[in-house]
Amino acid sequence: MRDTLRFLRAGRIVELGDVGPMDTVLDYLRLTERATGTKEGCGEGDCGACTVALGRLVDGKLVYQPVNACIQLLGMIDGAELVTVEDLSADGRLHPVQKAMRDLHGSQCGFCTPGFIMSLFTLYHAEGMTKSRQAVTDWLAGNLCRCTGYRPIIDAALASCFEAADDAFSWRAGETREALRRLADSRDIFIGTSDSFLAAPATVGGLAAIYGQHPDATLVAGATDVGLWITKSLRSLPKIIHLGRVAGMNRIEETASGLVLGAGVTYAQAETALTRLAPDLGELLRRVGSKQVRASGTIGGNIANGSPIGDMPPALIALGARIELQQGEEVRSLPLEAFFLDYGKQDRRPAEFVTGIFVPRPDVNEVFRCYKISKRFDQDISAVMGAFRFSLDGPILREARIAFGGMAATPKRATAAEAALAGASLDDPSTWAAAIRALTTDYRPITDMRASADYRMEAARALLAKALMEVSGADEPLRLKGAAHQGGSDHERAA
């Protein structure tokens, strides 16, 4: 057992014994270190002003990823290297990214600039990137600027980020790797008292034991949701158990039958494997949060928190995913759709936690499509998320699995529409109409700030039509008799 937090900072190992369970990296930097280059903007991981970089060893390589310091709990960075904007210059010379931002006029008021620079620092150190404006804008989707305008910032990225790294961090990479190896251990961490603590167990058994003793504790994986409970809802979370050190929680196993993901696998870690499983998942992942969010947020956490508008559960439900849960030494498995019972309520017993997800691989006769509808293309919560898996026998639909998010109190399958599609023909769009109409039986969406109930229903019907049209190979909108109302097809109005 260890009662201190340890991380690498500016070439030295920092060891802290007084760490509160809700302390954030941002507060540590600004209030303890007085490193005020890292700014506080939105306080919820949207604007990127607080972006810092975390360096970790991945398969022996030193990898830097951007994270939002405002919602990254301090206890989550144990064993990592923490890099801020103050660390980038060396021997009185600006870092190449900083120099490009200055030379190409990438800053006006400057408030957002440190966050942009830290995101670009991680791009500077990323391997295998193809130089393009698209690559830069994807990387910077989590950084907002109100006054400079993005053109000079993108110009600075294109000018500085796509050559071999040649900075102080690359020069001393060997020393950093060795320091991170020294920090790594397999001891459980417990800082605090039985009434208020930060715990970071190193094994599943250790997690089961401490959660069994404290079933009222809050489990934290990436804190991209729980962090907002602290910064926005101002909730008191005196007992926090961090899952990031649990051995096996970050496993990714690709088999002939499917994909096994540990509950602690981040979106960034899962992206390649999920894209290989179903290419549409890769495009979906590109629109889940930002680089900062995907570097921290976990698929298991998204499932366990049970949001009805989470992007991944509908896609995983349509693919037939199952989840594994553990309570003490007892392990059970259930279909993902059965886990969600009602708004904010899941089939999870006291002190039970999600350990992994199994996602079946579509076979040669199956096709998968998924679509996200939101007000902004990047970094926005879905108004409607639709996912579809069709089993085909030539042009005949043998079976369909359809799931939507944003249409009910939970991610939910469209069982009536699925039944209506059985036996439909891709060559005859008139056979799809009953299924599209059946969505009004499957769902009773609500109106809120993101969309009206009518819009959600129209969008859901249009997405089902879109999926069928894509799979059928149709290259232009089709009028589906009986599938639409109010003058024109769903697809035409959605377009």
Residues 356 and 269 in one domain: yes
Where does a domain end: 155, 183, 211? 183
Instruction: Say whether pLDDT at 307 is over 90.
Output: no
Residues 212 and 323 in one domain: no
Instruction: Say whether pLDDT at 239 is over 90.
Output: yes
What pLDDT, on the 0 to 100 scale, is given for residue 217?
Answer: 98
Read off the pLDDT of each residue in 293-297 and give the average, rounded to a whole number.
95
CA angle, 224 then 229 then 230, to 5°:
100
Q: CA 277 → CA 128, 214, 359, 387, distances in Å?
A: 21, 38, 9, 14
Residues 473 and 334 in one domain: yes
Q: 123 in helix, strand or coil?
A: helix
Residues 278 and 394 in one domain: yes
Residues 434 and 387 in one domain: yes
Residues 142 and 261 in one domain: no
Residues 286 and 369 in one domain: yes
CA separation for the pair 417, 422 (Å, rounded): 9
| CATH number of the structural domain spanning residue 233 | 3.30.43.10
Query: How many separate domains does the chain show?
Result: 3
Instruction: Say whether pLDDT at 41 is over 90.
Output: yes
Q: What is the pLDDT of residues 330-384, one digit of tens each?
A: 999 999 999 999 998 999 999 999 999 999 999 999 999 999 999 988 888 899 9
What pLDDT, on the 0 to 100 scale, is given for residue 161?
Answer: 97
Question: What one-character DSSP code corresponds to residue 361?
Answer: P
Q: Give the dihedral sign, CA 94/97/102/107.
A: negative
What confidence category does residue 305 fall into, taking pLDDT thresholds of 50, 70 and 90? Answer: confident
Which backbone phi and psi does 91 adopt, to 5 degrees?
55, 40
247 is a domain residue = no
Instruction: Say whether pLDDT at 2 is over 50.
Output: yes
Percentage above 70 pLDDT, the chain: 96
Q: What is the pLDDT of residues 136-183, one digit of tens each?
A: 999 999 999 989 989 999 999 999 999 999 999 999 999 999 999 999
What confidence category does residue 494 fall into, taking pLDDT thresholds of 50, 70 and 90? Answer: very low
Instruction: Say whether pLDDT at 485 is over 70.
Output: no
Answer with the residue of higher pLDDT: 485 or 377: 377
Where does a domain end: 199, 223, 242? 242
Smallest CA-to-CA distance from 460 within 431, 429, 438 is with: 438
Residues 288 and 321 in one domain: yes
Read off the pLDDT of each residue in 259-279 and give the average, rounded to a whole number.
96
Which tokens go with 173? 């990479």
What pLDDT, on the 0 to 100 scale, is given for residue 491?
Answer: 31
What confidence category does residue 490 fall into, taking pLDDT thresholds of 50, 70 and 90? Answer: very low
What pLDDT, on the 0 to 100 scale, is given for residue 489?
Answer: 34
Residues 458 and 439 in one domain: yes
What pLDDT, on the 0 to 100 scale, is given for residue 259?
Answer: 97
Range of 459's domain?
252-494
Side-chain-side CA neighbours of 492 within 13 Å: the count stands at: 11
With a CB cutoff of 8 Å and minimum separation 6, the contacts of 366 are 389, 390, 391, 392
Read off the pLDDT of each residue in 19-26 and give the average, rounded to a whole number.
97
154 is a domain residue = yes
What pLDDT, on the 0 to 100 scale, is given for residue 476?
Answer: 52
Read off the pLDDT of each residue in 19-43 and give the average, rounded to a whole number.
97
What pLDDT, on the 0 to 100 scale, is given for residue 480?
Answer: 46
Residues 112 and 93 in one domain: yes
Percentage above 90 pLDDT, the chain: 90
CA separation for the pair 46, 141 (Å, rounded): 9
Where does a domain end: 151, 183, 215? 183
Instruction: Say whether pLDDT at 263 is over 80.
Output: yes
| CATH number of the structural domain spanning residue 114 | 3.10.20.30
Residues 172 and 266 in one domain: no
CA separation for the pair 253, 259 (Å, rounded): 6
